[in-house]
Amino acid sequence: MQLTELTAVQLLDGYRKGEFSPVEATEQALLRARRIQPEVNAFARLTEEDALARARESAERWRRGEPAGLLDGVPVTVKDLLLLRGHPTLRGSKTIAEQGRWEEDAPSVARLREHGAVFLGKTTTPEYGWKGVTDSPLTGVTRNPYDPSRTAGGSSGGSAAAVALGAGPLSLGTDGGGSIRIPAAFCGIFGLKPTYGRVPLYPASAFGTLSHVGPMTRDAADAALLLDVIGVPDPRDWSALPEPPGSFTAALDGGVRGLRVAYSPTLGGQVAVRPGVASAVRRAVAGLADLGAYVEEADPDFSDPVDAFHTLWFSGAARLTQDFSPNRRRLLDPGLREICAQGARLGALDYLAAVDVRADLGRRMGRFHERYDLLVTPTLPVTAFEAGREVPAGSGLRRWTGWTPFTYPFNMTQQPAATVPVGVDDDGLPVGLQVVAARHRDDLVLRASHALYEADLTLSGS
């Protein structure tokens, strides 16, 4: 049996029935990780000895009928922006020294540890997670599972590639402008950016309250299970939300019948979407209508907030590197060094003007969700392009935000947003559909996404 093809829910069911053990699942996941690494480069480091030790401990707990928690024995990976106790967190950068004791887990990692998860390793990221593709001076280029000449997307590209190829069914990603949803869409998996604060973050991101932590998984049911584990408060994050009102897993089966869904194929003509993307998304939206949702083509009332996003993003990058010496700064990715310089030229009034744009955008989306339960869009207007580039060749674009207009607005508004794989284009590359709900309605995003999986309207069912 290929345990690497199973979801976390399926693995746990097998452990419960005694059909296989966490040791077998971990051994197969590590073997898969080693096999894919030379071509895809999903891992910054594997933590094999620790993984096998934790798997053996888990197997003994299952033998006694005393699992430690909701994810006991499930292989997981962690993006190398999040602290994992006992192992360096280098953030894709040569500016961070590997030496040190590394004694602390990030809040989400700590919750996984408490629930018995098995850590396979740290996944690749662009330097400090600054862009929407995954390549860095430290770890090189991460490639797409469907076509290694293409990018996996970013900044959680290693996590997306690992999950897509069976190196653990669950991964923790981060998303400051689309960094969970972009690579999940490019790699054909599910990715959820929860409501800001639903998953605590520590240390705080240099990009402030744009940055979210969330699940990257094989399907929506696994994401709900993972969010049940990590979506609880932690005292180290002053902006963390209180306990959720109930289980996200328990809320999955409500379906979409009766939900009011706004379908915006181009954000009111603001985005040029490739035909192969548009047709795959349109088919999935028709499927939502067939499942009983009230679907109407409608656009949210906002213009592209990219300038304000750049002000917030570039300022965060400048703050991150403001104390770097000239020698240390020379080690940075040239693109990151460039936006740091731009951010350093911005003043407090520029920043506060961007905050005003953000507040207005949030107000507009709040009013929009008085009329609609969900907004659905393409996750991206394009599919995966050439690896090692920040923008598609010949596009004329300068920065990654030029091809991600559907994702970063919802970091500014802090809304929950997920990407669901809904097919492939003519080149066989995955297409994602984005599902967005009002703040704190992560349950609706997961419900609608789960309904697409249950109805075989996703990539795996295409």
Which residues belong to the active site?
Answer: 79, 155, 179
Q: What SS3 state is found at 378?
A: strand
Distance of alpha carbon 270 from alpha carbon 303, whole angstroms: 8
The number of residues making up the chain comes to 462
Q: Does residue 124 contact residue 43 with C-beta atoms inside 8 Å?
A: yes
Cα separation, 444 vs 435, whole angstroms: 9
Contact between residue 319 and residue 206 where contact means Cβ atoms under 8 Å apart: yes
258 conformational bin, left if phi > 0, alpha if psi -120 to 50, beta if neither: left
Let me know if 106 is exposed, middle or buried by CB neighbors in 10 A (0-12, 13-18, 19+). Answer: buried
CA contacts within 13 A on the Cβ side of 314 = 25
Strands 118-123 and 43-46: antiparallel
Give exposure, 266-286, as e/b (b: 16+ Cβ within 10 Å).
Answer: bbeeebebbebbbebbeebbe
Q: How many angstroms separate the CA atoms of 448 and 431, rounded?
A: 17
Rounded to the nearest 5 degrees, what angle is found at the Cα of 406, between the Cα atoms of 401 and 409? 75
3-class DSSP string for 82-128: CCECCECCCCCCCCCCCCCCCCCCCHHHHHHHHCCCEEEEEECCCHH
Residue 375: strand, helix, or coil:
strand
Structure tokens at 162: 């690992």
